[in-house]
Amino acid sequence: MRFQRLTITAIIVSCAIITIAPQAQAKMPANYVGGTAAGAFSGMTKTFEVKPDALRFKETDDVEFQSSIDARYRLPVLPISARTSIYLNNLSVQATGTYDLSIIPNVGAYIGGGVHIDEKTTPVVQVGAEAKFGKTVIYGGFDYLTELETGVAKAGFGYSF
């Protein structure tokens, strides 16, 4: 129930941002590829376990630290980005589209949604912020996987191109 309210709130906030924010090009121009310094799943998670006798998925209710490779591609004219994350610990992929909101030059926030694909495909709501310093991008955010009732907090570094 708590997670459903969070999802509905995120959707309402994203609609408000899209309506209120100026439709100008975002001032966070960086396309980048990076990796998370740390990420954590909470709730029921699946991790790929390698043992000498078998390869299998392990389910747990614990918080587990994850690593991922992340990428962002900003559309040239609109303040919209395509983002993807490949989670290495549980062999899953996440693809989202986000609305980018400028805060100051080279610093922005984003909100959006998409899908998380592993054994089961689930919708995801995503919020975060990023800042560019030269060719380095620092980013972080929170992803909520609605059907799995799992949250992912991420922080990472990327290389801008």
Each domain of the chain, given as residue ranges in start order, spans: 2-160
Q: What is the pTM of this model?
A: 0.71
Higher pLDDT, 11 or 32: 32
Q: How far is CA 12 from CA 17, 112, 126, 142, in A?
A: 9, 11, 13, 16
Which pair of tokens denotes residue 3? Answer: 């997670």
State the CATH architecture for 2-160.
Beta Barrel (2.40)
Confidence of residue 153 (pLDDT cuts 50, 70, 90): confident
CA distance 138 to 73: 15
Determine the Cα angle at 152 with ends 151 and 158, to 5°.
160
The pLDDT, as a whole number, for residue 25 is 45
**140 - beta bridge partners?**
129, 155
**32 - beta bridge partners?**
72, 160
Residue 12 has pLDDT above 90, yes or no: no
The pLDDT, as a whole number, for residue 23 is 42
Residue 119 has pLDDT above 60, yes or no: yes
